Amino acid sequence: MTPWNLLGVFARATTLARHGRGRGLAEHWQGLKYCQALAAGPGGYLSLTAEGESPELSYRAMQARELGRAFGLAVAERVVRSCFPACLVSTLDAEAVLLASFARSGPRPTLGARPRPDFFIEAWRPGEPSRIFVVTVNGNHQIATKRTSKADRSTSKQLARASERAEQFHLGQWNTTPCLLMSTELLAMEGITINALRAPGEGLLPTRTAEGSGSADHVLTERNLLYAGALRLPAIDGRRERSQDGFLIPRKEIGWFGQLLARTGAAGQLAFAGAGTEIAQYLTVKQGHKHYVQQTFAGSSSVRDARHRIGYTWYVGTDQVFRLNRTRVEAFSGMAEELYELLVKGGVEAYRQRAYDLRNTLPTGASAPQWGPEAFPSSV
């Protein structure tokens, strides 16, 4: 994996993240600050540079929170793709999805302090049932000196907390949704190490129709699903049957949830390409529909304003110019113009079909003529 590929994974997954008022486009460009923190280390593996090992505590904490999460998410995507090689993979911010059905009442839609997973990964293929994985990602930046190091203890605690968060979401019924829990040690003795736990399950979403009310092209109405006492835990280990708070998608709403994932993913793709008001059509009120209708914040209301040809394909999106050791660098993020136009017109199902048809035509190299480093994802 190259540094720009890693940063691209994290950028695509956070375009709809609600990390403050600057959600959207401003979020995914933040990854550029790590361009000098990563490089090929011993044996050619990706490792931290001297700058990446900077002793400033604030920088380390931020790096563990963001870069550690990026590594974990990249590995999670590869795990899902390896299990389902015939499928495409979509990664979605869990909060952005859950807001549509579990937002608390108040002037500003929020999930509050309820424990929840970080991301959902959907493995899908047009015309077939797709699968959903619950994902948590964490990172720590402790200096490891031996296997009983402080870093190991931090990792164990992170995985334990991740289990608590992941177990708050259930699709259809209790304890049948697959989970991937990731914790990254950025200064492990063996280099950057990703620790992973997996919980099995099917996580199946029903096949959608290509058109009509059952398709992802259909505008969704929000749901007010039960959170308090939503989960019924069976009598196990000598304990009585009991109820527990959690994000449960009832069986009758699983089809709706599949549509929600597809539409939220479409909004994320448009946000990555710098779209503006076009994003709003795919989001419910609680997900932030109003935010994208009213272009009021400079970082997230930028519009798609760049068009470049890479290989034989025209890509549209947005660019950013910055300085890297006094060198002027232009970065571009976008998507194939053909796919962009389908999403702008509301054609989620047509977009998915065409994206699947084009999956083997994307460039696979690490650089592009006249551009330099490039990263074309296998996820969509």
Per-residue pLDDT tens for 313-350?
899 998 888 888 788 888 888 899 999 999 999 999 99
> Which residues in the chain land under pLDDT 50?
19-22, 297-301
Structural contact between residues 250 and 241, judged by C-beta atoms closer than 8 angstroms: no
At residue 14, the pLDDT reads 82
At residue 99, the pLDDT reads 94
At residue 26, the pLDDT reads 64
At residue 39, the pLDDT reads 87
Which residues are paired to 308 by β-bridges?
A: 315
Terminal-to-terminal C-alpha distance of the chain: 18
Number of domains in the chain: 1
380 in a domain, yes or no? no
At residue 12, the pLDDT reads 86
Q: Over the stretch 114-151, which tens digit does the pLDDT of each residue have?
A: 999 999 999 999 999 999 999 999 998 876 555 555 55
At residue 21, the pLDDT reads 42
25 in a domain, yes or no? yes
Structural contact between residues 120 and 94, judged by C-beta atoms closer than 8 angstroms: yes
Domain range for 125: 3-361
Classified as helix, coil or strand, 274 is coil
pTM: 0.91
41: tokens are: 């280390």
Beta-strand relationship, 327-336 and 313-324: antiparallel
370 in a domain, yes or no? no
372 in a domain, yes or no? no
Going by C-alpha positions, the residue among 290, 276, 291, 283 that lies closest to residue 221 is: 283
70 in a domain, yes or no? yes
Strand residues in the chain grouped as ranges (E): 38-40, 46-48, 88-93, 119-124, 130-140, 169-172, 179-188, 191-199, 204-205, 231-233, 242-244, 247-250, 306-310, 313-324, 327-336, 367-368, 372-373
72 in a domain, yes or no? yes
8 in a domain, yes or no? yes
Distance CA 25, CA 301 (A): 8
192 in a domain, yes or no? yes
